[in-house]
Amino acid sequence: MEELHVFVNNMGERISTVLHIPDETPAPTVVFCHGFTAHKIEAHRLFVNAARRICKEGFVAVRFDFRGSGESDGEFEDITVSSEVSDLNTILKFITERTEVDKNKIGLVGISLGGVVSILTAAQNPIVKAVCTWSSPAYFRPLPGIDQSQIEKGYIDLPSGYRIKIGFFEDAFKCNILENCSKISPRPMLIIHGSQDNIAPVEHAKMLYEKAGEPKKLVIIDGADHSFNRKDWEDEVIRITTEWFKEVFKK
């Protein structure tokens, strides 16, 4: 196996990308999409561990930082859902030009906001053949504690230390996640969620599952939180995801 670090250009800005390449190629490929204020490593190295595990099973795994996040160019305050969809489409175009990638077997894994971006992208890009979401919202809701004075300033300072422009929310609220979810079928969809997710409660997963067409699968991990912040939860979400992609792509 090889891990290749590259930069991919989108609109003059570089997207920091890691490709995990198995010994035998071309191979089915899974692209991992991180969450809001996160990066291609993700909490407790979740994406690193998942990518290396699925690569051992003969898949190319791709991790990347959306522009404004991690090691990519751009500023976090400028991100929007639409800019992240653009980044993911750029990554998809890039990997279809790689000889290591089986262009007929490309899937997505998205956690939290990355799940939303995966759904929106798959709905309009037929190169995506399977979608797996982890802790994805089914709709956007206003952030608590936002007052008119912050809106008038044009930006919000988040408790995590990040600043985000109001345009992010204006763009997000235009996204119909459930409608786009219904457009993924007949391509398969796997929805994984923790029963104790306090960011996007488990009802979101049930709404996505209800709206998705066949074939579809819903897995609720008992007790798990939004980021699967316990070793057994992490192991379970990675195992279930890997086995599902092996089944979907007959690996």
251 residues of the chain, pLDDT tens digit each:
999 999 999 999 999 999 999 999 999 999 999 999 999 999 999 999 999 999 999 999 999 999 999 999 999 999 999 999 999 999 999 999 999 999 999 999 999 999 999 999 999 999 999 999 999 999 998 776 677 777 788 999 988 899 999 999 999 999 999 999 999 999 999 999 999 999 999 999 999 999 999 999 999 999 999 999 999 999 999 999 999 999 999 86
Helix (H, G, I), strand (E, B) or coil at 173: coil
The conformation of residue 198, written as its DSSP 8-state character, comes to S
In the block, residue with structure tokens 């104790």: 196
220 and 200 Cβ atoms separated by less than 8 Å:
no
2-248, CATH topology level: Rossmann fold (3.40.50)
Instruction: Measure CA 21 to chain center.
Output: 19
The conformation of residue 147, written as its DSSP 8-state character, comes to -
Threshold 0.85, pTM exceeds: yes
Helix (H, G, I), strand (E, B) or coil at 137: coil
Q: CA of 49: how far to CAs of 58, 131, 162, 198, in Å? A: 15, 19, 26, 24
Token pair of 30 as six digits = 């899974």
d(CA 57, CA 53): 7
124 and 133 Cβ atoms separated by less than 8 Å:
no
**What pLDDT does 145 receive?**
66
Q: CA of 182: how far to CAs of 178, 194, 211, 216, in Å? A: 6, 22, 5, 11
- Rounded to the nearest 5 degrees, what angle is found at the Cα of 190, between the Cα atoms of 184 and 191? 105
d(CA 113, CA 66): 11
Biggest CA-to-CA distance, the chain: 57
**What pLDDT does 47 receive?**
99
Instruction: Measure CA 43 to chain center.
Output: 13
**What pLDDT does 234 receive?**
99
The conformation of residue 19, written as its DSSP 8-state character, comes to E
CB atoms within 10 A of CB 121: 25
**What pLDDT does 144 receive?**
65
Domain boundaries, the chain: 2-248
